[in-house]
Each structure stands twice: as structure tokens, then as C-alpha cells.
Amino acid sequence: MNANIPIDPYLPKPVTIRKISIENEARDLKTFELVFCNKEDEENFNFTCGQFAILSVFGAGESPIGIASSPLDDEYIQFTVKRYSTGVVTTALHNLEEGARIGIRGPYGNSYPLKEMEGKNVLIVGGGFAFTTLRSTIRYMLHQKNRSRFKNITVIYGARSPGELIYKSELNEWEERDGIDMYITVDNGADNWGGRVGFVPTVLKEVAPSSENAISLVCGPPIMLKYTMTPLIDLGFTPERIITSLERRMSCGIGKCGRCNISSKYICQDGPVFSYKQIQELSEPLF
Ligand SMILES: Cc1cc2nc3c(=O)[nH]c(=O)nc-3n(C[C@H](O)[C@H](O)[C@H](O)COP(=O)(O)OP(=O)(O)OC[C@H]3O[C@@H](n4cnc5c(N)ncnc54)[C@H](O)[C@@H]3O)c2cc1C
């Protein structure tokens, strides 16, 4: 390669869709397992939990999507994507089949504070399909290389109905194994559902995890975030120790286009991960 020609930061790298898994009953959430077409691109794609990438479907466009697999899943990268009925890129992506080729650029954004989480109890609170990057973090913490670096891991995760819970077989595995306490809940039960029914913030209050030496990662729809903050504060989690990930419409992913800013912050570069304290300091209410 000619060293004088700058590398175009918008140039997507080719990846093949190795596997597609349908995650929910509504069939509008699919997990795409991608493998790089070129070894060099694979080696250069080093990400950490909480980051996102920009996926491109040729002829349709690009979309930022959080990375759902763990950095230690070294054979593939996974993304769980919701198809919007009016969504150009997400619909085009959902229409593809295994073996299709798409583009990827990134990884972008900051990450969850993994170093700060070491030696602490970690509380994960998730709702709906925003669970993706939390799932990446759980996989990372549970990996045999890492498990001893984190203390108790508690997960409270909810969806609207049993059919909308994602990563079901993995949730079952985590429920069975030691070293992680799982509290799965749904807003509305179903005939075949013997589990918990209740909103995530309500379950959080019931479980009441200790905030001592603990940090919490929270991701979900704005309404869930809004009603989760007060119970967390009441449990003693200070705003610095409540970490969340924000989503905004964005285009370039690299702080150039100015589409995703909130006050002085660019979600693509300063985020998407922010502490609740940082969010409180922004001039506009976010949830
Ligand atoms: C950092 C980050 C991480 C993300 N991670 C994921 C993920 O893991 N999985 C996932 O499914 N999606 C994720 N998203 C959202 C995803 O980028 C959008 O849903 C996608 O770009 C929509 O593209 P589209 O072309 O299908 O829709 P468009 O044709 O662009 O829009 C379709 C409709 O969706 C609305 N819309 C599109 N994007 C957004 C948005 N970000 N917020 C609110 N409304 C929007 C539009 O207003 C329009 O009504 C993430 C977004 C960001 C910024």
C-alpha cells in the first residue's frame, strides 16, 4: 500500500454473514454473526465491551449497531438488529441470508469502565433489545480468564413478553451456572410462562442488590431508564457508579458530521457510554 495515500475512514471492510439467529416471536430481532473476509481486517478490529460499529448493506446504507459479542469471542463478531418497518438499512439487513457479504467500519465510541469494575460487585440492569452490549459485557466477565477479576454479578433483565426476551438459551445457561445471579422478568406473562412478571424497576426494588463496592450498568428504553435511576440512587448507587449507554441518530461515527451531539458531547466519540452524573450535567433532559 502507498504510505502517502491516507486511509479513508469511511471505507467499510468486507464481512460475511456466517449465521443468522431469529431472537424473538415478532421475528424483527435477528443476531448476525459476522466473519471478516480478510485476516488483516480481523486483526485490526480490536474492540471492547460497550463499543459499536457501523454496518453497511451495499445499496441500502449504513447503521450504527452495538457489538453484542465479547471481545474474547475471537472467531466472530455478533450484532443484534431490530428491523424497523420503515427502516431502510435494518430491513435490507434482515432480508439478507447466511453467506451474504456486508461492510463494517469501526469499532467506535468509548466502552464500559471494565478496569473500574474490577474487584467490584457488578449489577447489570437491562430492558428489551438494548441488552446487546450488556450481553457482551456479561460474556466477557464470565469468561474463565476474567471471572475472578469481578465480584458478584447480578443481572436484572426484562422484556415486554416471554417471546421478546433475547438470547434465550444463553439466559437459561446463565440461570443454571454459578457465579451469576439472574432475575428475568416480563411486563406481561403468558400461559407457558412460569417466571417473574413485573417491570424492571419494580424487580430492582424487590431484589434490592447492595450498592456496597458495586457499580451498575443500565441499558434499556428511555422509560425504563427514567424509572430505574431513582431506585438505584435509593439503594445507594451514586450517579458516578450508574453507567448507561445512549443512542442517537448518527451518521459518520467519528465526530465529523455533528448529527449525534447532545449539548457539547458527541455520542459517537464522547459516548455512547456515560455515567448518570455526566448525563445529569447535560443541558437537556434525556429520559
Ligand atoms: C451507538 C448506537 C448503537 C446502536 N445499537 C443498536 C443495536 O445494537 N441494535 C439495533 O437494532 N439498533 C441499534 N441502534 C439503532 C440503529 O442504528 C437504528 O435503528 C438504525 O440505524 C436504523 O436504520 P434504518 O436505515 O433501518 O432506519 P431509517 O430508515 O434511518 O429510519 C427508520 C425509522 O427509525 C427511526 N430511527 C432510526 N434510527 C433511530 C435512532 N437511533 N433512534 C431513534 N429512532 C431512530 C427513524 O426516525 C425512522 O422513523 C444503535 C444506534 C446507535 C447510535
Q: Which of 40, 45, 32, 43 is nearest to 101 (CA)?
A: 32
Q: Tell how far the Cα of 147 is from the centroid of ligand 1, in angstroms.
A: 33
Q: How far is CA 129 from CA 24, 121, 132, 208, 221, in A?
A: 10, 24, 6, 23, 9
What mean pLDDT, rounded, does the chain reach? 93
pLDDT above 60 (res 22): yes
The band of 4, judged by pLDDT with boundaries at 50, 70 and 90, is low
pLDDT above 90 (res 282): no
Q: How far apart are CA 1 and CA 107, in angstroms?
A: 22
Q: Tell how far the Cα of 119 is from the centroid of ligand 1, in angstroms.
A: 35
Question: Is the CB–ligand 1 distance for residue 86 below 6 Å?
Answer: yes
pLDDT above 90 (res 267): no
**Residues forming beta bridges with residue 9, ordered by sequence position:** none
Q: Tell how far the Cα of 146 is from the centroid of ligand 1, in angstroms.
A: 32
Shortest-distance Cα residue to atom 7 of ligand 1: 65
pLDDT above 60 (res 2): no
- What is the reported pLDDT for 26? 95
Per DSSP bridges, beta strands 61-66 and 214-219 are: unpaired
| Ligand 1 site-directed mutation target among 30, 90, 112, most atoms within 8 Å of CB | 90
CB atoms within 10 A of CB 52: 27
At how many degrees (to 10) do helices 200-207 and 222-234 cross?
20
Q: Tell how far the Cα of 94 is from the centroid of ligand 1, in angstroms.
A: 14
pLDDT above 90 (res 61): yes
Question: Is the CB–ligand 1 distance for residue 89 below 6 Å?
Answer: yes
The single-letter code of the amino acid at 234 is D
pLDDT above 90 (res 286): no
Atom of ligand 1 nearest to the CA of 133: 8
- What is the reported pLDDT for 271? 80
- Grid coordinates of 141: 466477565
- What is the reported pLDDT for 285? 67
Q: How far apart are CA 91 and CA 76, in angstroms?
A: 22
Range in 81-85, 122-126, 277-281 with the lowest mean pLDDT: 277-281
